[in-house]
């Protein structure tokens, strides 16, 4: 049972309500809604922030000692604000009535049915939210798109909200979130930029100024940029597309490195020192995961096709294709290097989260790679410091022999191979000599993130297979 630690009496709640300068609501208490609202509450103690969600377990978790989202530094700011000016509530209806500014941060997954299936964004949660706002509002409000949405979503939202009765008016703003999981607290506190898109009408500009006032409490004005609403909606999709494209670009070259004895780390360093290119996001690996990149890429592809831009759609689709190719290559390499059969062999997966410093496993390459290893009848032992609970949910129903062991040393004991899938810092400093001595020989390492000291592991006795670098093998030929 989750321990509830937030008790606010009715009288206290009324007193709290009276003393706050602004009343802000966020609909959607997920990876974005929770941390981004905690930061506003932390930086603006005179604003009251409430976060609601249709999922009661999520709200209970936000009100407990065990937050539903793992992010370094998040516990601290939630502890400082919760119950003072940050509240998590299940009462969506009354919160819509009471608040003047509403952020919408609900999920926008890929549509799995009907027209645009597997490509377009599924906007059903968005539309339901718009209808809820319309139904329960008793006064005019600013509604802010924080979810990532296809360009022109504000048009549909505007049409729904325009059917409000009487004098109630809604002004829609776009304020996409650029934070990254694993570094969310730092990204929210020191963002590269905050983008606010609005209609360029008198009321649109007034609403925009109100949102600027919130962020200006801790973010320099020169970093708060404004645009028309469509540019803002599109910029978020394009930012993710550019990031994903860099990952696929370096990964495509890693395949060429493996054929030519070039080393992808050396190539990335030489390329990244060109100031026109820059050195970020140039680490080769098993490809991107996470809830956003793939869905936003596919959504961009769908939008391009929808507007008849087939060549542009094909260009961006190739980024997703390379990501899948990279995972297939990695799996084929494991199979080939381990003599063409994994049946009955024990494979230890180090890292299941889609990246370090998060417990999030949505679209993690580890899901697909584990499933493929299990399909080859390998025994899979999964280790991760934060993501084992999610891993077990992701692999529920997958046939095969799978175990979950948090301690990497215990997980690796008796295994034939280590497969590194997440760039957790703790894997860089493991005692590989100790691990080697507990494994079946010949022992293999497949480093899907290029994070360990390959030469050192080779010297210990491992056969080491990095990405985009010459293999270090003790086998002749």
Least distance (Å) between residue 128 CB and ligand NAD: 5
Whether the CA torsion 87, 91, 96, 99 is positive or negative: it is: negative
What angle (nearest 5°) sits at the alpha carbon of residue 279, between those of residues 273 and 282?
A: 125
Q: Torsions phi, psi of 2, nearest 5?
A: -75, 130
Strands, E assignment, 312-384 = 346-350, 379-383
Tell the smallest beta-carbon distance from residue 18 to ligand NAD (Å). Answer: 26
The vertex-149 CA angle with 144 and 154, nearest 5°, equals 55
Distance (Å, whole) CA 299 – CA 226: 23
Of all residues in the shown chain, the one whose CB is closest to ligand NAD is 30
Residues 27-66 that bind ligand NAD (CB under 6 A): 27-33, 52-55, 58
Tell me whether residue 148 or residue 361 sits nearer to ligand NAD (CB atom): 148
Q: How far is the CB of 270 from ligand NAD (least distance, A)?
A: 31
131 in Cβ contact with 123 (< 8 Å): no
Q: Phi/psi class of residue 116: alpha, beta or left (left: φ > 0; alpha: ψ in -120 to 50)?
A: left
Find the binder of ligand NAD among 50, 63, 85, 108 (CB under 6 A).
108
| Annotated active-site residue in 257, 292, 304, 415 | 292
Q: Considering only residues 24, 106, 157, 381, which one is a binding residue for ligand NAD as defined by CB under 6 A?
A: 106
Smallest gap from Cβ 126 to ligand NAD, in A, equals 8
Q: How far is the CB of 318 from ligand NAD (least distance, A)?
A: 22
- Paired strand residues for 330: none
State yes or no: residue 143 binds ligand NAD (CB under 6 A): no
Of 129, 124, 92, nearest in space to 110 by CA: 124
Place of tokens 């320099």: 220
Of 215 and 446, the one with the shorter C-beta distance to ligand NAD is: 215
Interface residue with ligand NAD, options 87, 125, 288, 444 (CB under 6 A): 125
Q: Cβ closer to ligand NAD: 359 or 408?
A: 359
Could you say which residues in the range 163-192 bind ligand NAD, by CB under 6 A?
177, 179, 181
Residues 253-312 that bind ligand NAD (CB under 6 A): 291-292
Annotation marks residue 292 as catalytic: yes
- DSSP per position, 219-282: S-GGGEEEEEHHHHHHHHHHHHHHHHHHHHHHHHHHHHHHHHT--HHHHHHHHHTSTTT-STT-
Residues forming the active site:
292
Binding site for ligand NAD (CB under 6 A): 27-33, 52-55, 58, 92, 105-108, 125, 128-129, 147-148, 177, 179, 181, 291-292
């Amino acid at each position: 049972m989750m321990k509830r630690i937030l008790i606010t009496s009715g009288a206290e709640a009324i007193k709290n309500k009276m003393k706050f300068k602004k009343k802000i609501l966020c609909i959607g208490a997920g990876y974005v809604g929770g941390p981004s609202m905690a930061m506003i509450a932390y930086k603006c103690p005179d604003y009251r922030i409430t976060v609601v969600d249709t999922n009661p377990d999520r709200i209970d978790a936000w009100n407990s000692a065990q937050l539903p989202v793992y992010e370094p530094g998040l516990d601290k700011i939630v502890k400082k604000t919760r119950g003072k000016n940050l509240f998590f509530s299940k009462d969506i209806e009354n919160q819509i009535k009471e608040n003047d500014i509403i952020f919408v941060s609900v999920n926008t997954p890929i549509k799995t049915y009907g027209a645009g299936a597997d490509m377009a964004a599924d906007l059903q949660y968005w539309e339901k939210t718009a209808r809820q706002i319309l139904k329960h509002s008793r006064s005019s409000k600013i509604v802010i798109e924080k979810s990532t949405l296809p360009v022109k979503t504000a048009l549909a939202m505007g049409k729904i909200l325009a059917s409000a009765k009487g004098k109630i008016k809604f002004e829609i703003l776009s304020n996409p979130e650029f934070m990254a999981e694993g570094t969310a607290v730092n990204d929210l506190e020191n963002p590269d930029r905050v983008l606010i898109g609005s209609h360029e009408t008198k009321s649109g500009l007034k609403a925009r100024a109100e949102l600027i006032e919130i962020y200006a409490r801790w973010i320099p004005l020169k970093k708060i940029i404004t645009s028309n609403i469509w540019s803002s909606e599109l910029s978020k999709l394009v930012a993710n597309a550019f990031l994903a494209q860099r990952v696929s670009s370096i990964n495509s070259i890693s395949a060429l490195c493996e054929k030519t004895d070039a080393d992808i780390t050396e190539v990335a360093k030489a390329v990244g020192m060109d100031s026109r290119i820059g050195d970020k996001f140039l680490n080769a690996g098993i490809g991107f995961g996470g809830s956003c990149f793939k869905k936003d890429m596919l959504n961009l592809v769908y939008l391009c096709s929808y507007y008849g831009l087939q060549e542009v759609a094909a260009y961006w689709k190739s980024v997703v294709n390379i990501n899948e190719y990279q995972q297939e290559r990695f799996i084929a390499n494991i199979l080939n290097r381990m003599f063409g059969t994994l049946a009955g062999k024990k494979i230890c997966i180090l890292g299941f989260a889609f990246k370090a410093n998060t417990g999030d496993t949505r679209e993690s390459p580890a899901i697909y790679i584990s499933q493929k290893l299990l399909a080859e009848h390998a025994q899979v032992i999964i280790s991760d410091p934060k993501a084992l609970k999610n891993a077990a949910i992701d692999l529920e129903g997958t046939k095969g022999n799978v175990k979950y062991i948090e301690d990497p040393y215990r997980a690796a004991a008796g295994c034939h191979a280590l497969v590194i899938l997440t760039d957790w810092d703790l894997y860089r400093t493991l005692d590989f000599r100790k691990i080697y001595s507990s494994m079946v020989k010949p022992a293999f390492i497949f480093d899907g993130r290029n994070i360990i000291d390959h030469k050192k592991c080779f010297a210990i006795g491992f056969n080491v297979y990095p990405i985009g670098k010459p293999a270090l093998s003790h086998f002749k030929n």
